[in-house]
Structure 1
Amino acid sequence: MSTDSFFSALTRFRHRVLPASWEAKLNTPKGLLAAFCVVHLVFLVFALTISLHGEAFSDTFIYREWTSAGFRDENLSSGPSPWVYPILALIPMAIAGLAGPGPFFFLWVVMITVLDGVAIAKLTGWGRRREAIPAAWWWLVFVFIMGWLGFARVDGFTAPIVLIALAYGVSNPFIASTLLSVATWMKVWPAAVLLSLFTVVKERTRVVAAGILTSAVVIALAAAVGALPKLLNFLTQQGDRGMQLEATFTTPWLWLSVLHVGDARMYMNTDINSVQVDGPGTPFMSQLMQPLLVLAALVVAALIFWALHNGKRSGGADRTELLLAGSLTMATAFVVFNKVGSPQFMVWLAPAVAVGLVHSRREWRVPAAMLIAIAVATYFIYPLFYDALSHNNPWMALVLTVRNALLVVLFCWSVRRLYLLGKKTTANEPAGVGKEI
């Protein structure tokens, strides 16, 4: 079945399930707003219920403990240090903890809800861009499927910020770079998108200037609170960790553990609250992953640069499409070539796809469909059946293997897309090239 036939079949199925009148109403600003409220109300009500019982959820337990300890390692009895994150990640934690530990989780979800709202508003031009509404719907569906993997982790803050930055894109590289720099000082992965932005835009000095100014503010903030010695701790805190269970390159050892081959085993690394896999060759692979990730990032950056300049020679390059394709390729590389495979990493891939659907829906429907499948598989892995997976359940190992294979396919699609943009063979040029989204 061809790609067109597959998506035509999906459209026909949607028409059978959803009455035409409903579909028309849902594809309006009011319909989108109603959907946004329903989706986020589900998480807000759950967060309020949990908070009223004085509890938190998932990683917010750790964040709340860090806040209560004043982000000081000596006040913690065990577990990871708060400085595994860049310093700006501690700001939303501190805000959520202003009213004490009780409402921490609820306030955390409220802040992410606000950011999601701003991201959707920017994506759709505050409802004025009707053609962007399907892309916003896709983002809502993805957010809902991923669930607490976005709402209970720092990644839930960075993803909408990156989406907003990509929506500004090449039309305003200074704002885009500023937002991406802020997000990078919360969690490192937005640096992948920042590198793509630097490679693609004409005004690279604006990208650099925004990054320098943002970093200068961050350094001043760290000095003001006496945290300057710990400012770069996040670069070294996780360097000696092993191969995490869900990581793509861990898949062979995952099956060795499931099949009880040799000494392969799963174990909990309590220092970083992560399940890892140990077996023959894993120490070497763990050491190899860091340079492999750096190499992959450099190769992708070189491919973006080649696509830009080769495309210009053959009739002009679509810098916005290059930014989006490059961002997805780089973010996927950060996931595939990473020895840490936490399930929330899938959130990193969504911003480029959401903005891509606005820019060229036909081209971006393939990664959009793949990412929904990846999200569904990830939801089965965590939170539904993670305990079974970590106890060598073969069915869940198969689900994880399929998920990881889809990630590799998505990476290959992204690389191919960049290549086609450079060759100018079958890559379609959408209308409105280079306009702000």
Structure 2
Amino acid sequence: MAEQGVHEASALRPPLRSRLTARVHPRLRRLLGGRLALWVAFAIVHALLFWLNLWAPGWPLGDVVAVYRVWAENAAHGYVRMGIDAPWVYPILAFAPMAASLAFGSAWYAVTWLGIVVLLDAAAFSILLGSRRLSRTRRIAAWWWVGFLALLGPIALGRIDAVTVPIAIAGLLWAAGRPRVAAAVLTIGAWVKVWPAALLGALLVASRKRGEVMTVAVSLSVGILGVSLLAGSGLNAVGFVAEQAGRGLQIEAPIALAWLWQIVGGNPAVRIRYDREILTFQIAGPGADVAAALTTPIMVVGVIAVLLLGIRAARRGAHLGRLLPSLALAFVVVLMLANKVGSPQFATWLAAPVILGLALRPRRFARPALLAAGVALLTQVVYPYWYDWLLVAHPLLVLALTAKVVLLVLLLVWAVRAVWQAGDGAVRLGAPAA
């Protein structure tokens, strides 16, 4: 009888592994759910990216050291100020971080650049975590961003886009509570690199305070242009528009896949050439120049189509928290897919709308978050480690680039559907029209 009682008691007790798991899991969740764990992960990933940019094969900091530093030094020595004395490929405020990276001398330019980007990322990360009790949604968004940076690799810090990403994240996170501040931040970002203008457009559509958003954006832009003109820029202040229009079809551009696969197939009429004026590898072959010329009107049509979908949703009373993340994502992916440049750093743009979506509706944004993570990983596969293989159109690298474009198309389909549903959902809930 005693033995039977022991067996019955042991049968009632959960297995040892289950008991240990029950004890460990809450502790693990508390550990990973705290600010300290997030900041430690942030520091580890950024330290790794810092090291990779300085020492990894493929010269990840090539543009920073060989191009940005030269521009900054030329201006410091009084030779030429890009965007003021000569047309430039970037908006005028892009020169600010480039010049600031000379603060400790030319020899320390790369380290200073990386330090500036890490500090900007830390500021955006702090805004994401907030000063109050850390919510589950923001914790998910923060862990995703850390993972996204790790998957993306050194390009996450090694281009001018890396300066604009934390600015864009901060702007979107402030969109609901501080629309005027958000408009100012996103406008500044757009005058560093054009792409945050897409986020500003999404905010203009989704916000009920669009008049204030427009006023801030226009006033700040006029002020920036005014200062540029006083500095003697003339039309060079907007020269980046013409400079971008004059580019050829870069090999990383999604549309360039049609020619890369021809090279893989052995077509002797198609080749990859280096443009010494723009400093990029471009496609040379039948139809490539025509395709490059068509990308801009295709992009305009795509942006207008997404804009109309966003206006439809807004007029049907879509809530900003539901409309803004998906609309911003749709705009960004259109810019990436209909782009004749397609540089690897463009993948960094995905972070801002996905972080906002996860911070507001993590379950709904799980699928685009996974797709964006896949884009980041494939970007690192292509650049910088095996980029030389892409320059000879190696089939595996062309296949990786093709997979990346497929993921971007899936992202666009998801985002467009989400924008459409935001309008439908608002009508079903009986929300008043905006």
What secondary structure does 1:69 align onto?
helix
- The one of 256, 260, 274 equivalent to 2:262 is 256
Counterpart residue number, 2:74: 69
What secondary structure does 1:85 align onto?
coil
- The one of 246, 253, 264 equivalent to 1:240 is 246
Q: In the alignment, is residue 58 of structure 1 matched against residue 75 of structure 2?
A: no
Task: Kindly provide the amino acid, as one letter, of the partner of residue 298 in structure 1.
Answer: I
The alpha carbon displacement at 1:72 in A equals 9.2
CA distance in structure 2 between the aligned counterparts of 1:155 and 1:426, rounded to whole angstroms: 38
Counterpart residue number, 1:126: 131
What secondary structure does 1:266 align onto?
strand
Question: What are the Cα deviations for residues 190-212 of structure 1, in whole angstroms up to 9, with x where unaligned?
Answer: 11111111111112221111112
**C-alpha RMSD over aligned residues:** 2.6
Cα pair 1:29 1:127 within 8 Å, conserved: no
Counterpart residue number, 2:18: none
CA distance in structure 2 between the aligned counterparts of 1:178 and 1:425, rounded to whole angstroms: 28
Cα pair 1:389 1:396 within 8 Å, conserved: yes
Counterpart residue number, 1:140: 146
Counterpart residue number, 1:342: 343
What secondary structure does 2:247 align onto?
coil
- The one of 167, 176, 179 equivalent to 2:182 is 176
1:110-125 alignment runs, 5 A limit: 110-125=115-130
Task: Kindly provide the amino acid, as one letter, of the partner of residue 48 in structure 2.
Answer: V
The alpha carbon displacement at 1:266 in A equals 1.2
1:96-115 alignment runs, 5 A limit: 96-115=101-120
Q: In the alignment, is residue 206 of structure 1 matched against residue 207 of structure 2?
A: no
Task: Kindly provide the amino acid, as one letter, of the partner of residue 398 in structure 1.
Answer: L
The alpha carbon displacement at 1:262 in A equals 4.8
Cα pair 1:253 1:264 within 8 Å, conserved: yes
Q: TM-score, normalised by structure 1?
A: 0.86
- Counterparts in 2 of 1:426 and 1:204: CA distance versus 1, 3 Å: closer
Counterpart residue number, 2:294: 288
Task: Kindly provide the amino acid, as one letter, of the partner of residue 233 in structure 1.
Answer: G
The alpha carbon displacement at 1:425 in A equals 9.1
Counterpart residue number, 1:302: 308
The alpha carbon displacement at 1:387 in A equals 0.3
Counterpart residue number, 2:410: 409
CA distance in structure 2 between the aligned counterparts of 1:82 and 1:129, rounded to whole angstroms: 46
CA distance in structure 1 between the aligned counterparts of 2:77 and 2:409, rounded to whole angstroms: 39
1:152-231 alignment runs, 5 A limit: 152-231=158-237
The alpha carbon displacement at 1:19 in A equals 6.2
Name which one, 1 or 2, has greater alpha-carbon Rg. 2
Percent identity of equivalent pairs: 30
Cα pair 2:87 2:243 within 8 Å, conserved: no
What secondary structure does 1:83 align onto?
coil
What secondary structure does 2:272 align onto?
strand
Moved more, 124-133 or 65-74: 65-74
Task: Kindly provide the amino acid, as one letter, of the partner of residue 292 in structure 1.
Answer: I
Q: TM-score, normalised by structure 2?
A: 0.86
- Counterparts in 2 of 1:246 and 1:127: CA distance versus 1, 3 Å: farther
CA distance in structure 1 between the aligned counterparts of 2:387 and 2:60, rounded to whole angstroms: 19
Question: What are the Cα deviations for residues 133-168 of structure 1, in whole angstroms up to 9, with x where unaligned?
Answer: 121011111122223212111111101111111101
Q: In the alignment, is residue 91 of structure 1 matched against residue 92 of structure 2?
A: no
Counterpart residue number, 1:5: none
Question: What are the Cα deviations for residues 170-192 of structure 1, in whole angstroms up to 9, with x where unaligned?
Answer: 33221111011000000010111
- Counterparts in 2 of 1:394 and 1:174: CA distance versus 1, 3 Å: same
Between the two proteins, the alignment pairs up a number of residues equal to: 400
Counterpart residue number, 1:435: none
The alpha carbon displacement at 1:238 in A equals 2.4
Q: In the alignment, is residue 395 of structure 1 matched against residue 396 of structure 2?
A: yes
What secondary structure does 1:97 align onto?
coil
CA distance in structure 2 between the aligned counterparts of 1:97 and 1:269, rounded to whole angstroms: 28
- Counterparts in 2 of 1:405 and 1:84: CA distance versus 1, 3 Å: same
Cα pair 1:29 1:130 within 8 Å, conserved: no
Cα pair 1:155 1:347 within 8 Å, conserved: yes
CA distance in structure 1 between the aligned counterparts of 2:61 and 2:342, rounded to whole angstroms: 20
CA distance in structure 2 between the aligned counterparts of 1:82 and 1:38, rounded to whole angstroms: 39
The alpha carbon displacement at 1:42 in A equals 2.8
Task: Kindly provide the amino acid, as one letter, of the partner of residue 116 in structure 2.
Answer: M
Counterpart residue number, 1:10: none
